[in-house]
Each structure stands twice: as structure tokens, then as C-alpha cells.
């Protein structure tokens, strides 16, 4: 089996993650923050160390500003519903994933939030001039760092600068880039970072993070849901302190233990080394597919900063058929269709048909890439 | 003067944060269940032995941890 769907979730995960999960569910097991016994303390320490690992990876001084969520979507919803109030203006791009677009549309239609979208180029990179022109009076600017269809990466420091010039907060959906591209929240000026734990951070599914920068006064944010936190139990009102304010209910202890081990593995391997590995593979994939006559590519160019993702179609063939044939005849796992991002496909001209998406990861080899190119070549040569 | 006592925090995450800071400073501390008569804010607190509260305050205030000190008693010499 060749796994080319790392943009949906990376696979496999590092052995260290599996071992940490096993250890948590067989040796630790207790509910973090709910009891004072030593097992609960050990569970809590595992989760606190995960916060430290994430804070170090994204260069945030206070680990308590790392909030664990179910996934990137939950992180994005928590941030949007927390920050935006009736009458506020949010500026986003015309090439966002539904994890952002759906909550933003909902807020816009039902809660009186004003929405403006800034243009992107043919690969989904934000048009900084258009963003600047539309950002006056905005409360929040939210731009995806990496495009989940084309692999294009926007310069989030420039976008954050535009936000701050206009007195707005800057938030980024880093689901496609966290762990693959170095992100220094402080030097980039990112006020809120949302990411999956199970993609480029190589943790298990069911993990995500929202990190609040020092500029964000969390006491002014609203909570999306409320509940038990193991703290301030005499009060029936949600506590204000971090991270409890945004982490009601029992934490995903096993998942966070796995994520912590993965981030440690990633930090030892090096985000830069990971990028070089994926970039080399993606460039080979891009060059190999570009040589096939009837293949149409939807991908940011080889020379640009990109993720390990690209899309293609074979002229006259449905993406779903190609995806199925790659799986059934060659054992290659890909993803066809709209990739939860209809606005991206509208932007690149592949709506509603969609594309076949290939995405490499840390465990993909050059042989996997060559095998995939040959498979596409054979499918393209069929009449 | 050296004392024994409890650093009472509002969230277990703060307890772990304080634990790390104070251990790195070489203090003799441990995480324990919070005595109910002292607080119901958080299930665990940091118990310190033979420590200077001024030193604790300096270390924790610098890292913006919210806490109170309770259950103090003079340490044995």
C-alpha cells in the first residue's frame, strides 16, 4: 500500500506516539485534573508536557495558552465564536477550507457578523494588496496558511502585518503547515493559531490545538461550550483562567499523550528536515506528472514554498474514477473530489468536478513517488 | 525564615507549571491533593518544605502564575 493522503491525516504515525498512547491507557489511565491522587497527577503532567512541547514548537512563552481541541475545525470554531460579536467585520480569503468557511458563513448569516473575502491567485495564495484594501475596520483577519488542494503557502507574516496595521487580530488555519513549515507565532505576529494534531504534527486523530498569542485577552472571549474543568468547582459559572476556560470535560488523555510524543519526535527530526524531505518528493511528483500529456495540474510551482500536496486531473476522466483505479489496481491511496474546500475549487476552476489530490508525508519514499507517477501514466494512456 | 506550606492554584495546569519552575530552582516540593479546608479551587496544589516564600513569590510572579499561599507553618531547623 502506498499512502498519498497525508493532507487528510498523516499515516503512519511514529512508533513513539503509539508507545505513548499504549503507556497512557495501560499504565496511567486516570482523569487529568479531576483528582489529587498520583495517577491523576501523572496524567495531568503528561498533558502539561504536551502543552510545553507545542508552546516550544510555535514559540509561545506560556504553555497555558495552548488549548487542546478535538481537531483543527474545533479550534477554528472556538476562536471565531470566541472573538467575533454582532456587527464585527471579519476578513478572510476566497480560498478557505470549510473548517473556516462554514462557521464564518453561519456567524455571518445568524449572528450579524460582516464578512468580506479577499482575492487569492490561481493557486490560493492571498493577494496582499486586495487584503489590505479590504481590511479597514476589521476585528479579525483569518487566512489559511497552506492550501489543502494546491499545496500553495501564503506569507502569514505579511498578512498579520496587514491585520495589525488595521487594528485587527490575525488568525491562521495552519492545518496544512503546522509541523512542516517553521511557524514562530511571536515573530510572525500570529494572534491565534489553529491546527490539527493529526496532520503535520503526526499525533493521533481526535487532537487539535488553538494557541492564543500574548495580544489576545482571553477574558474578553466567549466560550463555545461550558462544563466541568476540575477547577473552581464551587462555581456554576465557567472559570476564566487558561486553559480551563476552553477545555470543558475530560481531556483526550491518550490522544494528547500520543501527540506529545509525536511533537517530540518531530522536533528531534527537525521541521526543516521534514520540509526538505517532502519538498523533494513533491517536486519529483510535479515533474513526473507534468510530463504526462493529458494530465492537468493544479499545484503551486516547484520553486515556491509549498506543502507536500498537489492536485491533478486526467482530461476527460472523473477524479473519482482515477482515485478508485489508483487504489484498486495499484494500492495507492489518494483523495478525489472537492476536499471540503468548494471555494478553492471555484477559484482554480475545478468546481464542481474536483480533482485527484496527492499528498506526501514524512514516511513517503522516492520509490512511492515513482510508482505513483507510473500508475498515473498507465491510467492516462488508457482509451 | 523557612516555611512549609501549600501553593494553591486555580487550575492543575498552573500546578504543573509551578512544579517545573520551582523544581528547576532546586526547591523541595511535591504535588499533593489540596486540603479541603484550604481551598476547593483545584484538586492539587504544590506543597513546599523549608522554603522561603519570598523566593517562591519572585519565581512564580515572574511567570505570571495566579496562586495563593496557604497552610503555612514554620519549618524545623
Q: A157 and A258 share a domain?
A: yes
Q: A173 and A281 share a domain?
A: no
Domain boundary among A269, A289, A318: A269
CA distance A242 to chain B (A): 8
Q: A238 and A313 share a domain?
A: no
The CATH number for A263's domain is 3.40.640.10
Q: B61: how many CB neighbours lie within 10 A of its CB?
A: 11
Which candidate, A24, A35, A28, A65, places its Cα nearest to that of A230? A35
The CATH number for B49's domain is 3.30.70
pLDDT in tens, A97-147: 999 999 999 999 999 999 999 999 999 999 999 999 999 999 999 999 999
Does any CB of chain A come closer than 8 Å to the CB of residue B30?
Answer: no
Which range of residues forms the domain containing residue B19?
3-74
Q: A81: how many CB neighbours lie within 10 A of its CB?
A: 18
Does any CB of chain A come closer than 8 Å to the CB of residue B63?
Answer: yes
CB contact under 8 A, A229 and B66: no
State the pLDDT at residue A196. Answer: 98
**Cβ(A69)–Cβ(A82) below 8 Å:** no
Give the cell for residue A288: 513526473
Q: What is the pTM of this model?
A: 0.95
Integer CA distances (angstroms), A20 to A30, A106, A120, A199, in order: 14, 38, 41, 18
**Cβ(B77)–Cβ(B3) below 8 Å:** no
Exposure on the CB side of residue A257, measured as CA atoms within 13 A: 24
CB contact under 8 A, B10 and A233: no
State the pLDDT at residue B42. Answer: 79
Q: CA–CA separation, A48 vs A27, rounded Å?
A: 17
Q: Count Cβ neighbours within 10 Å for each residue of B27-42 and write b for 16 or more, e otherwise.
A: bebebeebeeeebebb
pLDDT in tens, A310-322: 999 999 999 999 9
Q: Report how many domains make up chain A.
A: 2
Within 8 A of A40 by CB-CB distance, chain B residues are 43-44
Higher pLDDT, B77 or A213: A213
Within 8 A of B42 by CB-CB distance, chain A residues are 33, 230-232
Write phi, then psi, for B36 (nearest 5 degrees). -60, -30
List, in order, residues 6 or more apart from A15 with CB less than 8 Å away: none
Give the cell for residue A222: 466567549
Tell me the mean pLDDT in the region A76-91. Answer: 98
Q: What is the ipTM of this complex?
A: 0.87
Q: CA–CA separation, A117 vs A269, rounded Å?
A: 37
Q: CA–CA separation, A64 vs A83, rounded Å?
A: 18
Q: A353 and A261 share a domain?
A: no
Does any CB of chain B come closer than 8 Å to the CB of residue A37?
Answer: yes
Q: CA–CA separation, A77 vs A68, rounded Å?
A: 13
Q: A191 and A280 share a domain?
A: no
Q: Is A249 exposed, middle or buried (0-12, 13-18, 19+ CB in 10 A)?
A: exposed
The CATH number for A362's domain is 3.90.1150.10
CB contact under 8 A, A231 and B15: no
Give the cell for residue A317: 476522466
Q: A125 and A224 share a domain?
A: yes
Q: A6 and A26 share a domain?
A: no
CA distance A89 to chain B (A): 32
CB contact under 8 A, B10 and A34: no
Spell out the per-residue pLDDT of chain B, length 77, in tens: 899 999 999 999 999 999 999 999 999 999 999 998 998 777 899 999 999 999 999 999 888 889 999 998 988 76
State the pLDDT at residue A383. Answer: 64
Give the closest of B14, B41, B43 to A35, CB-based: B43
**Cβ(A195)–Cβ(A201) below 8 Å:** yes
Amino acid at each position: 500500500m502506498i499512502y498519498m493522503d497525508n493532507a487528510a491525516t498523516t499515516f503512519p504515525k511514529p512508533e513513539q506516539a503509539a508507545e505513548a498512547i499504549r503507556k497512557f491507557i495501560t499504565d496511567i489511565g486516570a482523569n487529568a485534573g479531576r483528582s489529587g491522587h498520583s495517577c491523576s497527577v501523572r496524567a495531568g503532567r503528561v498533558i502539561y508536557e504536551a502543552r510545553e512541547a507545542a508552546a516550544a514548537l510555535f514559540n509561545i512563552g506560556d504553555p497555558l495558552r495552548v488549548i487542546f481541541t478535538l481537531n483543527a475545525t474545533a479550534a477554528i470554531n472556538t476562536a471565531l465564536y470566541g472573538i467575533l460579536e454582532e456587527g464585527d467585520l471579519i476578513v478572510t480569503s476566497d480560498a478557505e477550507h470549510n473548517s473556516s468557511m462554514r462557521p464564518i458563513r453561519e456567524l455571518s448569516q445568524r449572528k450579524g457578523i460582516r464578512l468580506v473575502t479577499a482575492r487569492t491567485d490561481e493557486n490560493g495564495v492571498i493577494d496582499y494588496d486586495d487584503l489590505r484594501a479590504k481590511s479597514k475596520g476589521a476585528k479579525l483577519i483569518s487566512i489559511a496558511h497552506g492550501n489543502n488542494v494546491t499545496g500553495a503557502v501564503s506569507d502569514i507574516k505579511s498578512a498579520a502585518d496587514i491585520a495589525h496595521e488595521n487594528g485587527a487580530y490575525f488568525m491562521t488555519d495552519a492545518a496544512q503547515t503546522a509541523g512542516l513549515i517553521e511557524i514562530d507565532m511571536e515573530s510572525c505576529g500570529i494572534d491565534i493559531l489553529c491546527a490539527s494534531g493529526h496532520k503535520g504534527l503526526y499525533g493521533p486523530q481526535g487532537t487539535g490545538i488553538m494557541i492564543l498569542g500574548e495580544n489576545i485577552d482571553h477574558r474578553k472571549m466567549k466560550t463555545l461550550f461550558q462544563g466541568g474543568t476540575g477547577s473552581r468547582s464551587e462555581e456554576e459559572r465557567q472559570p476564566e483562567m487558561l486553559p480551563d476556560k476552553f477545555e470543558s470535560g475530560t481531556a483526550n488523555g491518550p490522544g494528547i499523550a500520543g501527540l506529545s510524543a509525536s511533537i517530540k519526535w518531530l522536533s528531534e527530526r527537525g521541521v526543516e528536515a521534514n520540509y526538505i524531505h517532502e519538498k523533494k518528493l513533491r517536486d519529483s511528483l510535479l515533474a513526473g506528472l507534468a510530463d504526462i500529456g493529458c494530465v492537468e495540474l493544479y499545484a503551486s510551482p516547484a520553486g515556491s514554498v509549498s506543502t507536500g500536496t498537489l492536485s491533478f486531473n486526467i482530461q476527460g476522466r472523473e477524479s473519482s474514477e482515477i482515485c478508485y483505479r489508483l487504489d484498486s489496481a495499484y494500492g495507492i491511496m489518494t483523495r478525489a473530489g472537492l476536499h471540503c474546500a468548494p471555494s478553492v475549487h471555484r477559484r482554480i476552476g475545478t468546481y464542481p468536478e474536483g480533482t485527484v489530490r496527492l499528498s506526501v508525508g514524512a514516511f513517503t519514499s522516492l520509490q512511492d513517488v515513482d510508482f505513483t507517477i507510473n500508475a498515473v501514466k498507465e491510467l492516462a494512456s488508457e482509451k | 525564615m523557612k516555611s512549609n506550606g501549600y501553593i494553591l492554584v486555580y487550575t492543575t495546569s498552573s500546578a504543573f507549571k509551578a512544579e517545573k519552575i520551582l523544581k528547576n530552582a532546586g526547591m523541595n516540593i511535591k504535588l499533593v491533593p489540596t486540603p479541603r479546608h484550604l481551598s476547593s479551587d483545584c484538586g492539587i496544589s504544590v506543597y513546599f518544605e523549608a522554603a522561603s516564600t519570598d523566593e517562591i513569590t519572585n519565581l512564580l510572579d515572574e511567570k505570571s502564575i495566579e496562586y495563593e499561599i496557604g497552610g503555612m507553618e514554620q519549618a524545623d531547623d
